[in-house]
């Protein structure tokens, strides 16, 4: 049986590690054949985190981290191929997002920066690699993000229903697939980022397993209102954001506003309120969808947030008219949807097919995204 194997590589804003997805595009619909995850080495995670947090880096540091990340991607892929009993020659191409360290689509000179040396990836794996996906969209006037809605449309769209595909990673983003309408996709706001930062600051943990710590606290409405008072939420799509906005400094500023009114709040109440903040911003976005035909509405959730039991409970409760499910139940493991998307983006680029959606990014036209790096 003929195959068309592509590997998608994704390391997200959480900096937890590298996701790999092996997709076969010879099948209809395309099939996720295998997947893998490699934790980010702590020194590299710290170095990237410091760059993102401070927004400052020496050229020497930037070059070294770029090189290290490229080597990590290549090592992960080579190890993955060995585990799967595959040869490099069996893979058509790799689609690698790289690691976003700064995304500034609204500045006077818009730009986005991803690191991870794609030439190293191509050379060390012996496989054609597609990277640098976002800048061409921005050259055509787009936000350069989000890019996965085009994949969501290809994989999940159904003419009999409204489908929303919600990725809750460090940032939460959504694709709205409405029959007879252009697909819309945009960043909603903070997904897991603030939750993860707060528990790491207070308890030294990377994340709140199942929302267990948040469950011990209570929602503070005063703090929730302060968190929701953010101009980004009033911006119409297309829009994108990241840790450049939703970071520890942003949270500390909001807490300072709170303390100007009330003297104290427990750490667990902050965590519970941050979880409600994520759930509320998601619900607010989905409740704005126009549904004149009263079609069934299904919400497919993926990303790390889909494993947070309390967060899933709250989203379900806030959206009583939606059937809330996960992408796993519709053919794509919740942990590997974005990696699968970059395999698809590589497939589109290799075949010179459009891979952005102007209705999503705001670009003036649909184009085939990504730069091709050969070994």
Two tokens, residue 359? 């209705």
Secondary structure E strands in 66-157 = 91-96, 99-104, 111-115, 129-131
The H-or-E segment that residue 62 falls in is helix 59-84
| Nearest alpha carbon to residue 49 among 65, 70, 29, 72 | 65
Q: 355: helix, coil or strand?
A: coil
What count of Cα atoms within 13 Å lies in the side-chain half-sphere of residue 201? Answer: 15
To the question of whether residue 19 is assigned a binding role by annotation, the answer is yes
- The total of other beta-carbon atoms located within 10 Å of residue 67's CB is 14
To the question of whether residue 12 is assigned a binding role by annotation, the answer is yes
To the question of whether residue 17 is assigned a binding role by annotation, the answer is yes
Question: Do residues 171 and 246 lie in contact, with contact meaning Cβ atoms separated by under 8 Å?
Answer: yes
To the question of whether residue 18 is assigned a binding role by annotation, the answer is yes
To the question of whether residue 14 is assigned a binding role by annotation, the answer is yes
Question: Do residues 5 and 343 lie in contact, with contact meaning Cβ atoms separated by under 8 Å?
Answer: no
The H-or-E segment that residue 8 falls in is strand 5-10
DSSP state of 105: T
- Asked if the bond preceding 146 is cis, omega within 30° of 0, the reply is yes
What count of Cα atoms within 13 Å lies in the side-chain half-sphere of residue 181? Answer: 18
Binding residues for ATP: 12-19
Binding residues: 12-19
């Amino acid at each position: 049986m003929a195959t068309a194997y592509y590997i998608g590589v994704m390391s997200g804003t959480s900096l937890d590690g590298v996701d790999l997805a092996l997709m076969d595009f010879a099948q209809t619909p395309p099939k996720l054949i295998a997947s893998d995850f490699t934790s980010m080495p702590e020194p590299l995670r710290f170095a990237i985190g410091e760059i993102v947090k401070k927004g400052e880096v020496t050229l020497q540091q930037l070059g070294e981290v770029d090189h290290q990340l490229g080597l990590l991607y290549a090592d992960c892929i080579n190890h993955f191929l060995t585990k799967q009993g595959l040869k490099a020659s069996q893979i058509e191409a790799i689609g690698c997002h790289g690691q976003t360290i700064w995304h500034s689509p609204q500045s006077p000179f818009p730009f986005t920066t991803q690191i991870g040396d794609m030439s190293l990836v191509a050379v060390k794996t012996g496989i054609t690699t597609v990277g640098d996906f976002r800048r061409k969209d921005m050259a055509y006037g787009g936000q350069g993000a989000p890019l996965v809605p085009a994949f969501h449309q290809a994989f999940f769209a159904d003419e009999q229903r409204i489908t929303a595909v919600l990725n809750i990673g460090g940032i939460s983003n959504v694709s709205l697939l409405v029959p007879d309408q252009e697909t819309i996709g945009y960043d909603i706001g903070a997904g897991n980022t603030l939750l993860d930062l707060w528990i790491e600051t207070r308890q030294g943990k990377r994340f709140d397993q199942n929302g267990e710590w948040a469950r011990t606290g209570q929602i503070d409405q005063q703090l929730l209102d302060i968190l929701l008072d953010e101009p980004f939420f009033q911006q119409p799509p297309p829009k994108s954001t990241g840790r450049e906005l939703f970071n520890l400094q942003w949270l500390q500023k909001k807490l300072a506003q709170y303390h100007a009114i009330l003297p104290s709040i427990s750490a667990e109440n902050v965590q519970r309120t941050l979880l409600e903040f994520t759930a509320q911003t998601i619900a607010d976005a989905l409740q704005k969808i126009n549904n004149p035909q009263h079609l069934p509405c299904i919400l497919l959730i993926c990303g790390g947030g889909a494993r947070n039991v309390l967060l899933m409970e709250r989203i379900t409760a806030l959206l009583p008219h939606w059937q809330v499910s996960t992408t796993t139940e519709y053919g794509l493991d919740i942990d590997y949807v974005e990696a699968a998307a970059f395999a698809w983006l590589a497939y589109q680029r290799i075949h010179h097919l459009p891979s952005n959606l102007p209705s999503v990014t705001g670009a003036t036209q649909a184009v085939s995204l990504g730069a091709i790096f050969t070994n």
